[in-house]
């Protein structure tokens, strides 16, 4: 019965170490992201980019300090409160055993076939189905094994479009993707960044340029912050 989430996110003096690690990855970290902002996170490997996103998504919770969503400490609400307003595409996107259609519908179980196809078209994921003999009814294999990384990402983007979340998280794939699929993915990203709060762990310059703010992270700290033109 809560108000729909708008997507204003605040890290308030957040210190964090993983449950199985004793080293703090973040210490007294502060960040305010107004609703609708696209934040690109860049930095070298191990800098803490995925950790920031893990905390924002509540895959892990702060050891000290608070994370506020629309001004509310997310630990005061259920996991599903945040997760129903959250869409994400991770570096090695996870698909479920089942068909392409089922995998996209996972973002909104009540969607009709027409709605699923419409969402897929927006991010060109229909191109994936078109190339295959069984089309939308193609089995993606165990965990999506019979799809390429690019195809898995397009299917995941379609799932996010259908779900239309207030908060969208993308950990961009670094693995090689063919030029044609690459173009489709860039279009999909542009669509998904509009009108929602987005955290993008960015490798593509094209994505970084679209961000309202770029955070350069090093050893769990923001060392630079600004727009693409400023940095």
Please say whether the beta carbons of 156 and 101 come within 8 A: no
Q: How far is CA 107 from CA 97, 111, 142, 156, 164, in A?
A: 15, 9, 19, 9, 9
Smallest distance, Mg ion to C-beta of residue 180, A: 26
Q: Which of 163, 171, 226, 230 is nearest to 196 (CA)?
A: 163
Please say whether the beta carbons of 202 and 40 come within 8 A: yes
User: Maximum CA pair distance of the chain?
Assistant: 53
CA angle 208, 231, 157 (to 5 degrees): 10
Q: Which of residues 45-64 bind Mg ion (CB under 5 A)?
A: 49-50
Which residues are CB-neighbours of 122 under 8 A, at least 6 positions away? 158, 161, 188, 191
Residue 93 interacts with, from Mg ion, ligand ATP, none (CB under 5-8 Å by kind)? none
127 binds Mg ion (CB under 5 A): no
51 binds ligand ATP (CB under 6 A): yes
58 binds ligand ATP (CB under 6 A): no
- Rounded to 5, what percent of the chain is helix, strand, coil? 35, 25, 40
Q: Looking at beta carbons only, is 108 or 204 nearer to Mg ion?
A: 204
21 binds ligand ATP (CB under 6 A): yes
Smallest distance, Mg ion to C-beta of residue 11, A: 17
46 binds ligand ATP (CB under 6 A): yes
63 binds ligand ATP (CB under 6 A): no
218 binds Mg ion (CB under 5 A): no
Residue 2 interacts with, from ligand ATP, Mg ion, none (CB under 5-8 Å by kind)? none
49 binds ligand ATP (CB under 6 A): yes
25 binds ligand ATP (CB under 6 A): yes
Q: Which stretch binds ligand ATP (CB under 6 A): 18-26, 103-111, 150-158, 184-192?
A: 18-26
Q: How far apart are CA 129 and CA 123, in angstroms?
A: 12
Which residues are CB-neighbours of 109 under 8 A, at least 6 positions away? none
93 binds ligand ATP (CB under 6 A): no
Dihedral through CA 76, CA 82, CA 88, CA 90, nearest 10?
20
148 binds Mg ion (CB under 5 A): no
> What does the binding site for ligand ATP look like in residue numbers (CB under 6 A)?
18, 20-21, 25, 43, 45-51
> What does the binding site for Mg ion look like in residue numbers (CB under 5 A)?
49-50
């Amino acid at each position: 019965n809560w108000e729909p989430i708008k997507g204003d996110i605040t890290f308030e003096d957040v210190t964090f170490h993983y449950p199985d690690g004793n080293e703090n990855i973040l210490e007294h970290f502060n960040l305010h992201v107004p609703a609708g902002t696209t934040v690109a996170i860049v930095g070298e490997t191990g800098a803490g980019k995925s950790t920031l996103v893990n905390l924002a998504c509540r895959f892990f919770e702060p050891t000290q300090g608070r994370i506020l969503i629309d001004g509310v400490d997310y630990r005061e609400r259920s996991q599903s409160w945040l997760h129903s307003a959250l869409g994400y595409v991770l570096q090695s996107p996870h698909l479920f055993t089942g068909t392409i259609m089922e995998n996209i519908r996972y973002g909104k179980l009540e969607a009709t076939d027409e709605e699923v196809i419409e969402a897929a078209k927006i991010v060109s994921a229909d191109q994936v189905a078109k190339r295959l003999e069984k089309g939308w009814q193609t089995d993606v294999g165990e965990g999506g094994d019979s799809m390429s990384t690019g195809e898995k990402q397009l299917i995941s983007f379609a799932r996010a479009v259908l779900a239309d979340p207030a908060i969208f998280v993308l950990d961009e794939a670094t693995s090689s993707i063919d030029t044609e699929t690459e173009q489709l993915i860039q279009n999909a990203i542009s669509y998904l960044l509009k009108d929602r709060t987005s955290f993008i762990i960015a490798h593509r310059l094209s994505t970084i340029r679209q961000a309202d703010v770029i955070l350069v992270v090093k050893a769990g700290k923001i060392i630079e912050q600004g727009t693409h033109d400023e940095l």
